[in-house]
Amino acid sequence: MSSLAKNYKRRNISFTKGKGSFLYTKKGTKYLDFVQGIAVNSLGHANPSLVNAIIRQSKKLWHVSNSFVIPEGEQLAKKLTNKTFADAVIFQNSGAEATEAAIKVARRYFYSIGKPKKNRILCIKNSFHGRTIAAINASGSKKMIEGFGPKVGGFDHFKFGNHKELKKKITNKTAAIMIEPIMGEGGIKVIPTWCLKEIRKICNKKKILLILDEVQCGIGRTGRFFSYEYASIKPDIVPIAKGIGGGFPIGAVLMTKKVSKAMVPGTHGSTFGGNPLAMAVGNAVMNEVFKKGFLKKVNSNSKYFISELNKIKKKFPKIIKEIRGKGLILGIQLHHDQTKFIENLMKNKLLTIRAAENVIRVLPPLNVNKKEINMALKIITKVCNS
Ligand SMILES: Cc1ncc(COP(=O)(O)O)c(C=O)c1O
């Protein structure tokens, strides 16, 4: 009998070893892992560069307080700002902490320029920004909020894809629009580039901030470092987590110089955020993701994977409704509930995970190879056939 609370509906399986795209049970049964901790193990299991980084750093220094300079964190922040829109970074430990920090940065910016009443955050109804009290209220999902006491104020919502409603919901109290460029938990719903461009324009016109939550779709997952890069826009604030740690808990909020000025000493902090051990791993992930040809490979593998998935969809139109996603954050939307299908994939040694709207989420490591993609395609076809 487990002593863990029952807040997860766990599958009755556990693993003792991971290597690249594969997980192994105690008995040695091998599974193709296209969950990868839900887009966390960006470089697969036990990646040698990350293992080395952790061994090296763990022998030197694990943790010091943020009241001292942490060179490994300085280094990672520099890498992130050199490669993105951002001028400044605050490190955290998880996605929810990163999105909460993003909200704080946006509000504090308007406070710092003498507009403290400009503090409301406009989000997509039923989006996902984490499980903390504020983050569930940001998502506006009844299922996530229910039973957790008084609602946290300061959030407004509009329906996915409804620009008219979005515009209508902006008031003189709105500080920022916060959206996921690809709604992960929400069913791998990609916000089209023209739409992101339009939202950026609206933010500029209304003089409000744009927060893009890249926790799930960032760090090379779409074939660009950040998914919004496809729209050639610049956000003001971007929370990240998952992939940047490659399996080690890291979160961060990236921001422009303009808004960072508000984050003066004492405005935010974290005991563990930015510790040397985490930062050493983050630096190693960045080195791998920016190696020549790495993102190009993500794109070519993605192109192949998506086109083959669409061929399967064509063959089984009564089962598969739509292939969704970008890069290696993919969704197979079924016409019916996906539970049984996911179970059958697992019986055939392919691990995937659900998302909303009957979607099966497919999240291979970014360094997956064609042979492994073919293995997955074969299993998906077999389950469709059965
Ligand atoms: C877009 C997005 N934001 C925030 C989070 C929360 O991250 P964490 O579970 O690390 O708190 C997630 C997690 O799935 C996410 O997908």
Distance 94 CA to ligand 1 centre (A): 7
* Atom nearest to 249 CA in ligand 1: 10
Residue 272 lies in a domain: yes
CB atoms within 10 A of CB 144: 18
* Atom nearest to 185 CA in ligand 1: 16
Specify whether 197 is located in the same domain as 298: no
Phi, psi of 69 (to 5 degrees): -70, 135
**DSSP classification of residue 180:** -
| Cβ proximity of 135 and 96 under 8 Å | yes
pLDDT one-digit tens code per residue, 230-289:
999 999 999 999 999 999 999 999 999 999 999 999 999 999 999 999 999 999 999 999
Closest listed residue to residue 45, CA positions, set 77, 63, 21: 21
CATH number at residue 363: 3.90.1150.10
Specify whether 246 is located in the same domain as 299: no
| Cβ proximity of 239 and 98 under 8 Å | yes
Specify whether 151 is located in the same domain as 262: yes
CA–CA distance, 76 with 385 (Å, rounded to integer): 47
Distance 129 CA to ligand 1 centre (A): 5
Q: Which of 243, 262, 289 is the last residue of a domain?
A: 289
| Pocket of ligand 1 contains residue 18 by CB under 6 Å | no
Specify whether 122 is located in the same domain as 220: yes
Pocket test for ligand 1, best of 94, 129, 238, 254 (most atoms within 8 A of CB): 129
Specify whether 180 is located in the same domain as 310: no
pLDDT one-digit tens code per residue, 274-314:
999 999 999 999 999 999 999 999 999 999 999 999 999 99
The token pair that represents 208 in the structure block: 């409000």
- Residue 1 pLDDT: 87
Residue span of the structural domain in which 23 resides:
17-47+293-385
Specify whether 84 is located in the same domain as 199: yes
Pocket test for ligand 1, best of 7, 97, 99 (most atoms within 8 A of CB): 99
* Atom nearest to 242 CA in ligand 1: 10
Q: Enumerate the β-bridge partners of residue 23.
A: 18, 31
Total domains in the chain come to: 2
Q: Which of 236, 254, 289 is the last residue of a domain?
A: 289
Specify whether 166 is located in the same domain as 269: yes
| Pocket of ligand 1 contains residue 213 by CB under 6 Å | yes
Mean pLDDT of residues grouped by 10 in the chain (386 residues)? 95 97 98 98 98 98 98 98 98 98 98 98 98 97 95 96 95 98 98 97 98 98 98 98 98 98 98 98 98 98 98 98 98 98 98 98 98 98 97
Q: Which of 233, 262, 289 is the last residue of a domain?
A: 289
| Cβ proximity of 292 and 274 under 8 Å | no
